[in-house]
Amino acid sequence: MGKKPVVIGVAGGSGSGKTSVARAIYEHFGGHSILVLEQDFYYKDQSHLPFEERLRTNYDHPLAFDNDLLIEHIHKLLRYEPIEKPVYDYKLHTRSDKVIHVEPKDVIILEGILVLEDERLRDLMDIKVYVDTDADIRIIRRLLRDINERGRTLESVIEQYVTVVRPMHNQFVEPTKRYADIIIPEGGQNRVAIDLMVTKIRAILEQKSIL
């Protein structure tokens, strides 16, 4: 079989610990042969819209993402070609004019709330993971992060959570759990789950004659 990177999808609600799972796997591989693609960076470009309109966008709906571009980029990485990854600005609610040059790697972690929602993305994955964390923990993490890192107020985070994030989670994110091969409770702190994942990734790499 020809050489082809392994793709791991890591889904789960906002604040579930997807990023820490991705980071834990990344660190196991020493950062040499692995890369992380964040679905968030592939939110549709909204630079043509006024700021007020961007504020009103539903960022928890599948249609908010430019999955066409994401899929195009994954196909390039699968052919061991580099990509120019978009950069997302959470304060301006749009794609920035910068891009990051990303070299192909043997392991691709695709992380995001709705990466298991699109069948085309699921079909590209070797392992599908859902990080399952209680809603109270997720909202606490989100409050701290959005206020400290994404320039939001307490009131705006609560309002967005109640009116958009929670209903969209129940409608679109949570149902994708059924597509997961592995459900990880509590994310990156779960050492057993991370070790199992790393062992499995190594086995797939060997199978694909990469290691």
Q: Hey, which residues between 152 and 171 contact ligand C5P (CB under 6 A)? A: 165
Q: Determine if 66 is a binding residue for ligand C5P (CB under 6 A).
A: no
Least Å from the CB of residue 202 to ligand C5P: 27
DSSP letter for 133, please. -
* Residue of the chain from 29, 42, 59, 65 that contacts ligand C5P (CB under 6 A): 59
Measured from the CB atom, the residue of 33 and 156 that comes closer to ligand C5P is 156
Q: Determine if 187 is a binding residue for ligand C5P (CB under 6 A).
A: no
Q: Determine if 60 is a binding residue for ligand C5P (CB under 6 A).
A: yes
DSSP letter for 94, please. E
Residue 183's H or E segment, with its range, is strand 182-185
Least Å from the CB of residue 27 to ligand C5P: 19
Measured from the CB atom, the residue of 29 and 43 that comes closer to ligand C5P is 43
Measured from the CB atom, the residue of 59 and 130 that comes closer to ligand C5P is 59
Residue 100's H or E segment, with its range, is strand 94-102
Residues placed in the known binding site: 12-19
The Cα–Cα gap between 75 and 57 comes to 28
* Residue of the chain from 7, 11, 14, 77 that contacts ligand C5P (CB under 6 A): 14
Q: Are 64 and 43 in contact (CB under 8 A)?
A: yes
Q: Are 102 and 111 in contact (CB under 8 A)?
A: no
- Mark residues 123-152: x for contact with ligand C5P by CB under 6 A, - for none: ------------------------------
Q: Determine if 26 is a binding residue for ligand C5P (CB under 6 A).
A: no
CA-angle at 158, arms to 154 and 160, nearest 5°:
115
Give 13-74 as a DSSP string.
-TTSSHHHHHHHHHHHTTTTSEEEEEGGGGBPP-TTS-HHHHHHS-TTSGGGB-HHHHHHHH
Count of residues in the chain: 211
Q: Determine if 109 is a binding residue for ligand C5P (CB under 6 A).
A: no
Q: Determine if 90 is a binding residue for ligand C5P (CB under 6 A).
A: yes
- Can you give the binding site for ligand C5P, defined by CB under 6 A? 14-15, 40, 43, 59-60, 90, 93, 113, 165
